Structures are given as structure tokens and as C-alpha cells.
Amino acid sequence: MKPQASILFDTPGPRTRLRNNVLTAVGAVLILGIAYFVWARFNEAGQFDPELWKPFLDPQVWQGMILPGLVGTLSAAALSIVLALVFAVVFGLGRLSDHWWLRWPSGMVVEFFRAIPVLLMIFFAQAGAFELFGYTMDAFYAVVIGLTLYNGSVLAEVFKAGVLAVPKGQSEAAYALGLRKSGVLRLILLPQATTAMMPALVSQMVIALKDSALGYIIAYEDLLNTGFRQLPASFHNLVPAAIVISLIYILLNLGLGYVATVLERRSRRSRKSSARPVTLATVGGGSGRGE
């Protein structure tokens, strides 16, 4: 069957297809070779000993360690995401304000917290509370504060970029109809900007979920702490525990990505948006781990 032409690139000829197939085969062999080497080394070190994996078949291990840690991770991530969205709306609107006395302070706050590593903010939230007020802050709240400030500042830029991604003609037409700025923002800009912001919002949610693992440093009872510190300390199975915990994180992120994809598709079907999609690369976002 003759391959169809593409408007983006020329249809590869016989030599190009042969070269691509050879490179694919060589790459597959290299990947399989690396996988076999890793498996052989683990097997030689006894990491596939059934006794090391047996704890993961014990319901008490899941109920007493892994699931409580999972709840801790999801709780910190969920609360910080909700608070970060509130932070983003407040300071995103501030950055869009026509008044300099709102726009400048909002910009300073956003840029300040975007520049500080999440881990440093988590440390400061816990240690700073004790040094300034003599109060020992719970690790959960320290993690939530750190995640909220960083992710909220990034999402504020996403919010701003999403609103600005809507063509100016949309707002100009609304003003011509007599709408005030609040009505234009609520009825015209935000519905379209939400669809445009969805990819960046989801990406930042995934980052927040992964960065919640930084609570490990201050002994927060999350999935990484219970599954990667407490469980190996009890059963001496560090590598199997790392593999299982990594798989759980992968499944969580894949699930979050799938839900976000469904929401984005429904949003695009339910309303037409002329706004360009906003990504984290557009606003310079990303993980602020920066230890």
C-alpha cells in the first residue's frame, strides 16, 4: 500500500524507510540489552528473591504503610492544588488589572515565589514558624504551603496567559455591546481561557503531585516516606520498594492525565474557543524543586 503524502514533510522513499527501520531495530535491541543487563544485575544481587516481594502481598502492609502514605500524598497534593488555583485567580487578576498599585505588587509576589525552590519554601514554612512565633508547624501544612506558593505563582502566569490568548476582537466586541470589564472577563474571556489553560493546568497538577514527595525531607508521612523509608527499614527490600512506589506514582500521574484529557475534550466540544492553547513552556513554568 502506497504511503500517503503529508503536508508537513515529504513522503520517505525506500532508502529512508529502510534506514528508519534499521535504526528502530537497533534502538529496540539496545533497549532490550540494557533491560536484560539491569535484570541480570538485580537477579545476581538477589533482588528478585520472593521473600523481598512477599510484603507487598500482605494486606496489613498496604493498610498499615502504603495506603496511609498514599492518602497523605493525595491529601497534600489535592489541598495545595485547590489553594494554588485560588492563589492563581487572585494574583492572575491582579496582574491583569488596569491599576498599577494592584498590577505591580501582584507581579512582584508571583515572580518572587516562582524563583524560590519548593523545598526551600517547605523548610522556611516549618522552621520559620518556629523561629518567628515559637510554633512547630505540622509537616502537612508546611508541605501544603510550599506547594501552594510555588504552584500558585506558576498558575497565576498560566491564568494571565490564558486570558491574553483570547483574541482582542472578542473583548472589543463585548465592550461595544456595553459590557463592563467584569462582565467581559466572566462571560467572554474566562470560558475560552479555561479551555486554553487546560494543558498547562494539568501539567502543573502533575508537578504538584510529584513535588509533594519533597515532604520526605521533613518526615511528612507521604507515600515516599512510608513506602521508601519505613517499609524497607522493616523488610530490608529497598529496591523492590522503590519499584513498587515508582509504579504507584506512574499510575497516579497517568490517571490524572487521562482525567484531564477527558475534561479537555468535553470542554472543547461544549464550547468553541478561539484562544490558543497555553503550555508551561509558554509561561516558563516547570518544577521548582531546585534543591
Per domain, the residue ranges of the chain are: 12-45, 59-283
Q: Which of 195, 160, 183 is nearest to 266 (CA)?
A: 195
55, 71, 201, 280 from 258: Cα distances, Å: 30, 20, 13, 18
In this prediction, residue 158 carries a pLDDT of: 92
Q: Is 13 left (phi over 0), alpha (psi -120 to 50) or beta?
A: beta
Joined grid coordinates for residue 252: 497516579
Q: Which of 265, 281, 267, 275 is nearest to 204 (CA)?
A: 281
For the question of whether the overall pTM of this predicted structure is more than 0.85, the answer is no
CA distance 85 to 131: 29
In this prediction, residue 6 carries a pLDDT of: 45
In this prediction, residue 269 carries a pLDDT of: 65
In this prediction, residue 270 carries a pLDDT of: 58
> Look-up: residue for cell 461595544?
176
In this prediction, residue 271 carries a pLDDT of: 56
In this prediction, residue 10 carries a pLDDT of: 60
> Look-up: residue for cell 509576589?
109
CA distance 24 to 29: 9
In this prediction, residue 101 carries a pLDDT of: 93
Residues with Cβ < 8 Å from 100, sequence gap 6 or more? Answer: none
CATH domain 59-283 topology: MetI-like fold (1.10.3720)
To the nearest 5 percent, what fractions of the chain are helix, strand and coil? 80, 0, 20
In this prediction, residue 97 carries a pLDDT of: 87
Joined grid coordinates for residue 220: 511528612
Q: Taking a C-beta distance cutoff of 8 angstroms, is the pair 187, 111 a contact?
A: no
The one-letter code for the residue type at 228 is F
Angle between helices 190-211 and 238-270 (to 10 degrees): 180
pLDDT digit string, tens, across residues 37-94: 988 988 888 888 888 999 999 999 999 999 999 999 999 999 999 999 999 999 999 9
3-state secondary structure 165-226: CCCHHHHHHHHHCCCCHHHHHHHHHHHHHHHHHHHHHHHHHHHHHHHHHHHHHHCCCCHHHH
In this prediction, residue 163 carries a pLDDT of: 86
Positions of the chain with pLDDT under 50? 1-8, 290-291
Q: Which of 46, 80, 95 is nearest to 288 (CA)?
A: 80
